Amino acid sequence: MGCVAGVIVKQVPTKPYDGQKTGTSGLRKKTKEFMQENYLANWVQSLFTALGDEVKGQSLGLGGDGRYFGKEAAQIIIKLAAGNGFKRVIVGQNALMATPAASAMIRRRKLYGGLIMSASHNPGGPDADFGIKFNYSSGEPAPERITDKIYGETTKVAVLNMADIPDVDLSKLGSTSFGEFEVVVVDPVEDYLETLRGVFDFPLLRSFLARPDFGLVFDSMHAVTGPYAKRILVQELGAPASCVKDGEPQPDFAGGHPDPNLTYAEELVKIMWSDESPAFGAASDGDGDRNMILGRKFFMNPSDSVAIIAANAQECIPYFKSGLKGVARSMPTSGALDRVASALGLPFFETPTGWKFFGNLMDAGKCSVCGEESFGTGGDHIREKDGIFAVLAWLSILAARNREVPVGGALVGVEQVALEHWKKYGRNFFSRYDYEECSSADAGRMMDHLRGVIAAAQPGDAFGDFKLKLADDFEYTDPIDGSKASKQGLRFIFEDGSRIIFRLSGTGSSGATIRLYIEQYTADPALLTKDAQEALGPIIKVALELSKLAEFTGRTNPTVIT
Ligand code: VG1
Ligand code: CO
């Protein structure tokens, strides 16, 4: 027992748990694993120990995507924060806060950092997943040098520094003090909205959304963006309340998989493919950092989306009016963005999968817009991918394109914007096949087999009709701090620029998810509107043959096709 700034702190003995290693984005495990005695507390204590004396007297942000166990987790984190010397925790009302909003809050309030309680696109509930991650003072996900340190601490944690304070009512806005320690409950939308106001032309968007010939639907998938969409799209921008679908956050996302893709957002897809569809559709994931953009009967591939946003940012988004500093994409994301970068003469970076790799580039002023093929798009206004940013970016592009189109005239939609882009830059056909819940051993054997193929491969080797240029395991050296990340995905790059990439997911909580990424470029005007699956048919066949995926995993069909 001791006393920190007027608060009694108990030293609670604990024992390490195995496997508390951070993946692509934080620690994600089955909720029941997280609910074991001290499981969450061990990780949080390990984080605070890893951060050391630096945290004393600091303010910590806290929020989550509203999933099951979030409210209980918040109380544990508050007690540990007080017990480890933080002077303040600023937490979203009801422990809610979207990931991009947490990043915005950390930046606006100059916090030491923040904890986000989310397993993002993974399902929630007592039988699904929970997760947690730490973001630093510029709002960016902790880099690997910190997450490695946390993991080191989790293997030896023996004592939890727990403040002896009661649970705080997180449903009421305002501040509660215990000695010199304070918990401040804030509106989870406010800071984020102010940040977005500084990025977009809200009055222009408002007048565009008032057009009677333009309609939109935003699917929150029963996850955290409901309150954000209602406040921003409806209250601020004047869209009708009915445009927000499934806008009440629920602890189990109503049993759904809050991952905005063509498979899991099937209700939205149905709406957008119906004859009465509105012009624009969008969805976001559990914690609001992912986005899917749809036009009328049209799927906007995320790799194209970031390229199109980058190409139009300077003209259509006030925050970027003096031009972009640079752009970046994750390695598996298609090369559509590369073409925009080269046409605009912008610095370009290719990073490993996971948003944490963009943070350094943005902090160093080298990147303004970045994206991942996994429905992640963002800008340097914050340090997380940002679902609502992507939606407002697209609405800004559409508003600009339709400036001269009279009401009732031929409204330019998402598909036409894409088509014009492809005509100018060519099209990078792209698809991702996910094989979820494979056995880890099978997936591992397939990856070993592929490593063997890479070791034996020579430039010029033929794979079907494709001639190999390079095959390797992607490695990245951060241009800012020189840190290295290896084994970031097996790549086969062919002479015509086509690519086949294999990775194992780092966000699952059990088994293995194999991700197969395929890309092929065309500048042939006759092929631009071809169906992506059809266009990629031959190279997909090559990928499946060379990996012997069906043989190793017994799987003949992917779980999700993007
Ligand atoms: C996936 C995506 C990756 C994304 C990550 C976190 O990781 O591929 O691009 O950054 O999820 O997204 P993995 O290791 O499963 O492929 V989120 O919205 O779940 O934080
Ligand atoms: Co997410």
pLDDT single digits (tens) 221-269: 999 999 999 999 999 999 999 999 999 999 999 999 999 999 899 999 9
Distance 432 CA to ligand 2 centre (A): 18
For the chain, domains (ranges, CATH) are 2-188 (3.40.120.10), 193-425 (3.40.120.10), 427-561 (3.30.310.50)
Atom of ligand 1 nearest to the CA of 374: 9
Ligand 1: atom nearest CA of 287 is: 18
User: Residues whose CB is under 5 A from ligand 2 (ion)?
Assistant: 120, 285, 287, 289-290
Q: Which of 284, 353, 386, 560 to mutate to test the pocket of ligand 1 (most atoms within 8 A of CB)?
A: 353
Under a CB-based contact definition with an 8 Å cutoff, are residues 93 and 186 in contact? yes
Task: Give distance in angstroms: CA of 97 to centre of ligand 2.
Answer: 12
Q: Which residue type is seen at 204?
A: L
The b-or-e profile of 462-494 (16+ CB within 10 A means b, else e) is ebeebebbebeebebebeeeeeebeebbbbbbb
- For the segment 316-375, what is each residue's pLDDT rounded down to a tens digit? 999 999 999 999 999 999 999 999 999 999 999 999 999 989 999 999 999 999 999 999
Count of other CB atoms within 10 angstroms of residue 96: 25
9 contacts 164 by C-beta, under 8 angstroms: yes
Per the prediction, the chain carries an average pLDDT of: 95
Q: How far apart are CA 408 and CA 213, in angstroms?
A: 6
pLDDT above 70 covers a percentage of the chain that reads 100
Which ligand minimizes its atom distance to the CA of 506?
Answer: 1
Measured N-to-C along each axis, helices 387-401 and 99-108 cross at an angle, to the nearest 10 degrees, of 90
CA of 410 to the centre of ligand 2 (A): 35
CA-based nearest residue to 507, from 19, 22, 152, 6? 22
pTM: 0.93
Candidate from 21, 24, 382 with most ligand 1 atoms within 8 A of CB, to mutate: 24
| Ligand 1 atom nearest to 508, measured from its CA | 15
Contacts of 416 (CB under 8 A, 6+ apart): 401
Expressed in angstroms and rounded, the spacing between residue 507 Cα and the centre of ligand 1 is 6
Answer positive or negative: Cα dihedral of 267, 529, 468, 537. positive
Copy the structure tokens of residue 403. 């400036």
* Mean pLDDT for back-to-back runs of 10 residues, the chain (562 residues): 81 95 88 96 96 94 97 97 97 97 97 96 94 95 90 96 96 96 97 97 97 96 96 97 95 93 93 96 96 97 98 98 98 97 97 93 97 97 97 98 94 97 96 93 95 94 92 96 94 93 86 94 89 92 94 90 90
Q: How many CB atoms lie within 10 A of CB 53?
A: 7
The answer to whether 117 touches 132, Cβ cutoff 8 Å, is yes
Closest residue CA from atom 11 of ligand 1:
507
Ligand 1, atom nearest to 355 Cα: 10
Query: Structure tokens of 244?
Result: 């927000």
Query: CA–CA separation, 357 vs 378, rounded Å?
Result: 13
| Closest residue CA from atom 20 of ligand 1 | 120
Strands annotated E in 187-304: 216-219, 244-245, 280-284, 291-295, 298-300
Q: Count the residues in the chain.
A: 562
* Atom 1, ligand 1: residue with shortest CA distance: 507
Residues 510, 32: Cα–Cα separation, whole Å: 13
Task: Indicate the DSSP class of residue 562.
Answer: -
Give, using CA atoms, the residue closest to atom 17 of ligand 1.
120
CA angle 203, 209, 214 (to 5 degrees): 155
Distance 106 CA to ligand 1 centre (A): 22
Ligand 1 atom closest to the Cα of residue 372 is 9
Using the atom order of ligand 1, give the atom closest to the CA of residue 118: 20
Between helices 414-425 and 336-344, what is the axis angle to 10°?
A: 70
Alpha-carbon span 303 to 388, nearest angstrom:
17
* Residue 430 Cα to ligand 1 middle (Å): 17
Q: What is the spatial order of strands in the sheet that 2-4 belongs to? A: 2-4, 7-13, 159-163
* Cα(302)–Cα(278) distance, integer angstroms: 20
How many A from CA of 548 to the centre of ligand 2?
Answer: 31
Position in ligand 1 atom list of the atom nearest CA 99: 20
Centroid of ligand 2 to alpha carbon of 524 (angstroms) = 35
Instruction: Give the residue from 122, 561, 191, 211 showing the smallest Cα distance to 395.
Output: 211
The strand ranges marked E within 367-441 are 369-372, 376-379, 427-438
Neighbours of 1 (CB within 10 A): 7
| Residue among 384, 507, 559 whose CB has most ligand 1 atoms within 8 A, to mutate | 507
Rg (alpha carbons) of the chain, rounded to whole number: 23
Of 233, 245, 183, 168, which is closest to residue 388 (Cα–Cα)? 233
| Greatest C-alpha distance within the chain | 75
pLDDT tens-digit profile of 388-410? Answer: 999 999 999 999 999 999 998 99
**Does residue 314 contact residue 320 with C-beta atoms inside 8 Å?**
yes
Ligand 1 pocket test, pick from 21, 22, 25, 383 with the greatest ligand atom count within 8 Å of Cβ, gives: 25
Identify the CA nearest to 55 among candidates 108, 118, 134, 2: 134
For the annotated catalytic residues, the residue numbers are 120
Per-residue pLDDT at 75: 98
Q: Who lines ligand 1 at CB under 6 A?
A: 24-25, 120-121, 285, 289-290, 330, 353-355, 372, 374, 376, 505-507, 515
